[in-house]
Structure 1
Amino acid sequence: MPRFSVIVPAYQVQAYLSECLDSVLSQSFSDLEVIAVDDGSPDACGEIIDAYAARDPRVKPLHLAENRGLGRARNAGIARAAGEYLIFLDSDDTLTPGSLAAVAERIEATGGPDVLVYDYERTYWDGRRVRNHLAAELSEWGRAPFRLTDRPGLLRVLMVAWNKAYRREFVAAEGFAFPPGYYEDTPWTFPVLMAAGSIATLDRVCVHYRQRRQGSILSTTSRKHFDLFDQYERVFAYVADHPELAFWKPELYRRMVDHYGVVFTRPGRLPRGSHGEFLRRARDHHRRYRVPKARLRRRHLLIRFGLHRTFRALRYAAAARRRLRELVLGPARAGRRAALGLHYRIQLRLPLRPERAVFAAEGGYGGDPAALEEAMRRYAPHVRTTWIADPAHPRPLPAGPRLVAPGTAAHWTALARSTYLFGDAHLTRGLRKRDGQILVCALGGTPLGHTGLDLQERPGAVPGSDPVALLRDVDQWDHVVSGNRHSTLTWERVHPGRWTALEYGSPRTDVFQRATPDEVARLRATLGIPAGKVAVLYAPARRDHRRTQHLPLDLPKLARGLGPRFVLLARGHGDVPVEGARVIDVSAHPCPEGLCLAADALLTDQSPLMFDYAGLDRPIVLHTGDWAAYAAVRGVYVDLPGAPPGAVGRDEDELVDVFTDGTWNGARAALLRAAFRERFCPWDDGRAAERVVRHIVLGRTEPSPVVPLGERRPVRSAMANAVHPARSPLVSVPHPAGPRPVTWPAEHR
């Protein structure tokens, strides 16, 4: 008996069927069968199913002589299924990587419930992905399994069959089957949830629910939407046959009326001239199934009295209010922009404040500007500092700097009258730098992928890059913070201007040299890293050439291969599949430096974070699975596979071997890391921000002495003794050649 029977009905979906089947057959959890039902499809669905069956014995083809509809096709699949659990998947949707393994583990952890409910997200043809807005109902906190009475909010989650796993014996014992019709999921899902003796939830996106541009059944204009009335009659008939479920009638009534309201108001569903008839049918059901003293909303009252013209008039009135608001707010916004522009021009004519500094960074407080602001308060306390950041940013500002919101009068006043301006490219948007102002640009670490003017040759890498606007900003820079010679030479070529390179190190990595073991322990506890575990920070690069961001690695598979000794801290740019306590999603953590301090090792591919992490002298493992594709699309400045910062793996299996056989923290990995540090971390001794502040504010052009690489003692990880008992062999690495305050001509060659 396989663990899962995945039932995939197919009708006129030849363009999507292969992707759907691939998403199931490529799952890391392989104890399954796929019941692929050709529902009399006139296109090539049947041939596609047979081709997959010939290649993979887990695919069980089932050809129906004529089209029976989605519900009856599922019933045919149920009759052929042999798995312990039934899973339904529409043939234009897909399973997310690792989802079946997560479902199997959750079923095991909750004692084999009758029904397991998991999450989904809508995927649109233009690349957008939107998670179910009721995902909070699928929280895994609290007792599990449970009855529906313990979690009635599950009835508000989209009433579909494909976001659940059903114990087959439970389905057979209760005699559940799909009825014919358009809305066959409704009389299946409500009774199943109400009858289930045990339910569990999985707070994980397991299904990508494709929102087709055209061709979706429910988006078709048709009288078949009147089928909804028959389906709710089946739901209430089921309750009538099971008196013990009668207490669910008020909730079912509310769900029914809300559902009718959605179909009635959704454009493009009901044919022209049928809205009155639909609302009259809804009124009849309202009177038949209404429970006395049930709480009513305005929509319920309109349906109760069948006031379809009033309903429509209210909709038009709401649309008119929205339009009026746009007409009023549009000029108001334009007026506000004009007023702020005038305010900025006035401030530009007022005297500069010599002891004021303003800081800004993309995304809010953090990075090099944050380290520079801290150094400013420490080494030049007479200078008052201001941060331009959204007050709602998750990383709060420390005590000291003044916070102003972007786009406010205070923001433009700070830009116009502060003598010192520190920030990344985010700071220069709309800026008109004055004589006497000093603008220090922090470009975000060591460049790996092409940037600046080099992006002109690769328009697919970062669409919409504007070299003219870039050079206009570059002409306002006075200094650029650089962490190493490689960065300096690259920035000077791709951002040509009169600025001066301050090759003093990466300020944001100063914390690596100052942090204490107690601070590391607190960070690990905050992130939920269990004691005694080796924490591996997985930080893949963002693929700017892709519209949607998918993790390059199957994290559940990798976590299971690594075993219980390891924990993955996943910092992705999209969905991160959580694998129990073995994969912790840290994507929303506002401080990358804190994640680096908490981790015992870094696993990455093309992320520039590796250049910062190397300063910690902790193991780095490189994933090179799509290096060739990334290099071809984006272009690269460093041959990472040729000179990696540590051990290398091409896929999950090789990476598991790297970690389990000790290669990741062995002697060869230490030698590679030593060479990498020597090249990219010559100044990162904890005083980079101090050197910049002393140069810019205090006028000391000779930088502070740099601590040799072999003498640096960055804070060790919590598992230092078990992970890497010896540091990389850097004993007598020479000092950097000296500061790089070199002025280059302004011609844009």
Structure 2
Amino acid sequence: MTETRPALSVVVHGPDVQGLLGPCLDALAGQLPEDAELIVAAVGTTARDTAGHHLSGVPRTTLLTLPAGTEPATARAAGAHRATGTWLWCLTATDRPLPGALSALRTRLAELSDEVDVVLGDHVRSTWRGPGTSGVDTGRLARFGRRDRPLDEHGNLLRVTPLLANRVLRTAFHHTHEKHLTDADPMYAARAALVLARRIAGTEHALADVRQLRRESLPPVPAERRYELIDAYERLQELMREHGTAAAPRAVLYDLMATETLRVVSREGLPDAVAREFFRRASAAAVRWKPPGHRRPPGREGVRRGLLEQDAYTKYRAFQELSHGRRALRSAVRTGRGKAGRKLLDLHYQRALKTPLDPELAVFSAYWDRGVACNPAAIAAKLAELAPHIRPVWVVSRATEPLLPPGTEHVVPGTRRYAEVMARAAYLVNNVNFPGAVVKRPGAIHLQTHHGTPLKKMGLDQIDHPTASRGLDFDALLSRVDKWDYSVSANSHSTRMWEHAYPSHYVSLDHGYPRNDVYHRATAADVRAVRARLGIAPGRRALLYAPTHRDYEARWTPRLDFAALAERLGEDTVLLVRGHYFYGGAASPLAGLCRTGRIVDVSAYDPVEELALAADALITDYSSIMFDYANLDRPIVSYADDWETYATTRGVYFDLTTEPPGHVARTQDELTEILVTGAWRDRESAAARDSFRRRFCEFDDGRAAERVVRRVFLGEPEEALPPVLPLESRTVAPTPEEADAHGHA
């Protein structure tokens, strides 16, 4: 039996950038017609795994795996080569088909004659803020109408946004002109399709949501690459000449070339030498391809065009400055002097910014200036060992000063010395963001260490969860994120989540969390010492209960009846209860219970890593402590009594109840049953923990701080760093039971 040829082949190609491939494939799978096929040219293992997960069970799909770094045009061509449909629609992994697009497109394609080679549709552009408005090209397409025509009869089709996502090509046509249609420059390929097509048709249905990525989230492109824009336009002009395109479309392309090249000079902030050379090349192209009898537009644009044709770069810059000055004056008159621009930074800070950077000065802060803690503390300790010439200075609040370890060099925000240190430090390290007023100086390195593995939605991913993001200025957040040079990650999950939660161009350090090194380096004596400080007698079982913050609660309200739980667990068990630091100012509800000796309020105890070492098991809800504690390979019980509420209000990246690190309790009775029967450390619990550790303790092997210091502060290349040990080769701190046995040996 002969298999029917598909009417449409949809090709999705590229890497999984900022987690956008999954939504693209879900949208396609949900509306793929029976006479259509889907081909995914996945670049890199992450895209391959994402495609495999989202396309599981979806019929008529083909998955191609291409090496990481494969160029977009190469990936697009690889997917197109596998296409068997009559028509071909290519989308990048960041695009998304709009609802109903495939059905509308399928209907339109069935109406077309065999001479139509290209179908044009509208699109929408979305950003991290959300979907944009449609209608970018609605007017042009409406004027074009439903009657198919060649480009010679409607040259203004060249003004339709030059994307591959808003045009569908006849597959035979694509293969015939593959050299042009798989060009590395997508603008060239999109417009070449119109030049080469026998006839072009339109559809009134918008086809794709084209995600516009933040420029700051993309790899930096050498300024000289902008010369390629002029080359692409000149190649299009040459193609039109060879193809015998009529004068009207050629004049349209000429106007587009002049407008876009002048826009590059005006708005892209190119280095002067590059801008001058770009202008010279654009001038030569403007003269070379100017249509006979072509007239410049009136007004300022006409003046700009004249200066371009004369290659008068200096005069063009002067004209541009004059225009900007007039606009600025009008704006000042409208807004008033007191409202123009943001407030200037402190004068002393401004003066300090003009002094040279101190290459041996590093500023550290943690948890909004709460003291020496977390990943920054672990990095600072390793820095003293490997790079003692670099001087660490901690930023701490006035209230935290008395709690600092003796001899800690520090500054307090708002002081003259703080301004000097912040301005001159070559390294700035934080597990949250520094204030927005902190200037990112050329040559300074900002290291973002984070302070947990994300279960809950973070950054831009909170936009759809107003309870969690109340009062959060996302633009200000992104301006702070743009200062990061490095982002520390403990696992691939975090690396991927940070990519779309904080889209900017920083280097991900997949080195592990430095604060977790202690879990691989602590000795039996260390474990016994911590338990002694906490008053835990040898042989007693210690359970650490560490819940997280709820965005819908103003203060910490215990979700357990600790007295009842302690009574059921018996004299041999002590509960270490740690409230979230967000509630540090609230009175503890545990004061009365602590007198029994079965409950210890450790909310103010630091560092939390010592509490983890002291505990035989962890009880938590959705706190990121579970990811760190899993390094110890000790039992974890999840108390998820309000999971649905938390997941809805805060937003989560995965379902903890189906992918937990151990047993899950939904009520106190269930939790008590798990703890008193020994189920908390049974075989089922161990199997869940093993899977959890492999996923979330991926890079934590005890040498994370060393890798970070060598990479960031000593400038050692990635390949020279100590490799991450596989899970089976790691040594973890002994359990309290093992530590006690070792102490009596």
Query: TM-score when scaled to structure 2?
Result: 0.50
Offset of residue 405 of structure 1: 1.9
2:715 to 699, 702, 725: 699
Q: Does residue 357 of structure 1 match 2:373?
A: no
- Are positions 1:344 and 2:362 aligned together? no
Task: Provide, for residues 1-60 of structure 1, a one-character-per-residue CA deviation record: whole Å limited to 9, x for no partner.
Answer: xxxxxxxxxxxxxxxxxxxxxxxxxxxxxxxxxxxxxxxxxxxxxxxxxxxxxxxxxxxx
Aligned partner of 1:57 in structure 2 is: none
For the 8 Å contact 2:528–2:740, the answer to whether it is kept is: no
Q: Aligned runs of 1:534-613 on 2, under 5 Å?
A: 534-573=541-580, 575-577=588-590, 578-579=593-594, 580-613=596-629
Identify which of 702, 709, 715 aligns with 2:727.
Answer: 709
Q: How does 1:21-100 map to 2 (within 5 A)?
A: none
CA distance in 1, matches of 2:601, 2:553: 22
> Match of 1:357, SS?
strand
Residue type at the aligned position of 1:531: P
Q: Where in structure 2 are the equivalents of 1:382-397 lying within 5 Å?
A: 382-390=389-397, 392-393=399-400, 396-397=403-404
Aligned to 2:651: 635
Decide whether aligned partners of structure 1 residues 339 and 404 sit closer, same or farther in structure 2, where only a CA change above 3 A counts: farther
Structure-1 residue corresponding to 2:439: 432
Q: Following TM superposition, by how much is the alpha carbon of 1:554 offset from its aligned partner in structure 2, in angstroms? A: 1.3
Cα distance in 1 for residues equivalent to 2:607 and 2:379: 15
Aligned partners of 1:492 and 1:506: how far apart in 2? Answer: 17
Q: Distance in 2 between matches of 1:399 and 1:355?
A: 22
1:101-129, CA deviations, whole angstroms, 9 ceiling, x for partnerless residues? xxxxxxxxxxxxxxxxxxxxxxxxxxxxx
List gaps (5 residues or longer) in structure 2: 1-342, 581-585
Determine the structure 2 residue equivalent to 1:652.
668
Q: Which residue does the alignment assign to 2:691?
A: 675
CA 1:681 to 1:583, structure 2 compared with 1: closer, same or farther past 3 Å? same
Summarize the Cα distance change of 1:395–1:507 in structure 2 as closer, same or farther, 3 Å threshold.
farther
Q: Deviations over 1:543-576 (max 9, x none)?
A: 0222232111111111111112211000024534
Q: 1:531 aligns with which of 524, 527, 538?
A: 538
Partners in 2 of 1:475 and 1:527 — Cα distance? 42
Residue 517 of structure 2 corresponds to 510
The answer to whether the 8 Å contact 1:384/1:401 transfers is no
Percent identity reads: 45
Amino acid at match of 1:534: R
2:457 to 407, 429, 450: 450
For 1:655 and 1:720, locate their aligned partners in 2 and report how far apart those are by CA, in whole Å. 25
- 1:381 Cα deviation after fit: 1.4
* Alpha-carbon distance, 1:719 to partner: 2.2
Whole-Å separation in 1 of the counterparts to 2:445 and 2:451: 19
Describe the shift of the 1:536–1:546 C-alpha distance in structure 2 as closer, same or farther (beyond 3 A): same
Q: Distance in 1 between matches of 2:394 and 2:726?
A: 33
Residue 448 of structure 2: aligned partner: 441
- Asked if 1:687 corresponds to 2:692, the answer is no
Work out whether residues 482 and 506 of structure 1, in 8 Å CA contact, stay in contact via their aligned partners in 2.
yes
Checking the alignment, whether the CA contact within 8 Å between 2:463 and 2:469 is kept in structure 1 is no
CA contact (8 A) 1:557 1:652 kept: no
| 1:427 counterpart SS class | coil
In 2: Cα distance, 1:384 partner to 1:613 partner: 31
Post-superposition Cα deviations, 1:135-164, rounded to whole Å, max 9, x if no partner, equal: xxxxxxxxxxxxxxxxxxxxxxxxxxxxxx
User: How far apart are 1:399 and its partner, in Å?
Assistant: 6.4
Residue 469 (structure 1) aligns with:
476
- Cα distance, 1:395–1:598 mapped onto 2, change above 3 Å: farther
Distance 1:670 1:715 in 2: 17
1:299-318 maps to which residues of 2 (within 5 A)?
none
Distance 1:581 1:618, change over 3 A: same
Q: Residue in 2 aligned with 1:283?
A: none
For residues 677 and 484 of structure 2, the distance between their equivalents in structure 1, rounded to whole angstroms, comes to 49
Say yes or no: does 1:406 pair with 2:413: yes
Counterpart Cα distance in 2 of 1:559 and 1:677: 29
Q: Cα distance, 1:397 vs. partner?
A: 4.5
Q: How much has 1:721 moved relative to structure 2?
A: 8.3
Q: CA deviation at 1:462?
A: 3.8
How do 1:53-202 residues align onto structure 2 when only pairs under 5 Å count? Answer: none
Judge conservation of contact 2:432–2:451 (CA < 8 Å) in 1: no
Which residue pairs with 2:104 in the alignment?
A: none
Cα distance change of structure 1 residues 694 and 721 upon mapping to structure 2, 3 Å threshold: closer
Cα 1:391–1:548, aligned 2, differ >3 Å: closer, same or farther? closer
Instruction: Verify the 8 A CA contact 2:379 2:709 in the aligned structure 1.
Output: yes
In structure 2, C-alpha distance between the alignment counterparts of 1:555 and 1:463, rounded to whole Å: 32
Deviations 1:422-481 (A, max 9, x none): 113342442111000010112212011111011221111242111011011011111111
Q: CA, structure 1 residues 596+557, in 2 after alignment: closer, same or farther (shift >3 Å)?
A: same
1:407 positional shift = 2.0
Of 485, 492, 501, the residue aligned with 1:494 is 501
For these two proteins, the number of residue pairs brought into alignment is 387
Q: What secondary structure does 1:560 align onto? A: helix
Three-state SS of the structure 2 residue aligned to 1:595 is helix
Match of 1:483 in 2: 490
1:419 maps to 426
What is the alpha-carbon distance in structure 2 between the residues aligned to residue 514 and residue 608 of structure 1?
21
Spell out, residue by residue over 1:699-749, the C-alpha distance to the aligned partner (whole angstroms, 9 max, x if none). 2222312222112221112224899xxxxxxxxxxxxxxxxxxxxxxxxxx
Superimposed CA distance per residue, residues 230-256 of structure 1 (whole angstroms, 9 cap, x where no aligned partner): xxxxxxxxxxxxxxxxxxxxxxxxxxx
Alpha-carbon distance in 2 for matches of 1:607, 1:339: 39
Show the 5 A alignment for 1:141-290.
Answer: none
AA partner of residue 642 (structure 2): D
Which has the higher mean CA deviation after the structures are superposed, 344-353 or 440-449?
440-449
2:453 touches 2:624 (CA, 8 Å); kept in 1?
A: yes
Q: Decide whether the 8 Å contact of 2:455 with 2:654 is kept in 1.
A: yes
Query: Which residue pairs with 1:85 in the alignment?
Result: none
Separation in 2, partners of 1:572, 1:401: 27
State the alpha-carbon separation in 2 of the partners of residues 690 and 485 from structure 1.
19
Aligned match of 2:121:
none
Alpha carbons 2:539, 2:740 under 8 Å: kept? no
Who is 2:62 aligned against?
none
User: Do the aligned partners of 1:361 and 1:426 also contact (CA within 8 Å) in 2?
Assistant: no
Alignment RMSD, CA only?
Answer: 2.2
Any idea what SS the aligned residue of 1:461 has?
Answer: helix
Q: Distance in 1 between matches of 2:691 and 2:540?
A: 28
Q: Distance in 2 between the 1:395 and 1:519 partners?
A: 26
* Residue type of the alignment partner of 1:520: V
Amino acid across the alignment from 1:719: E
Question: What TM-score results when the alignment is normalised by the length of structure 1?
Answer: 0.50
CA distance in 2, matches of 1:664, 1:678: 20
Structure 1, unaligned runs of 5 or more:
1-337, 724-749
Corresponding residue for residue 460 of structure 1: 467
Measure the CA separation in 1 of the matches of 2:537 and 2:345.
51
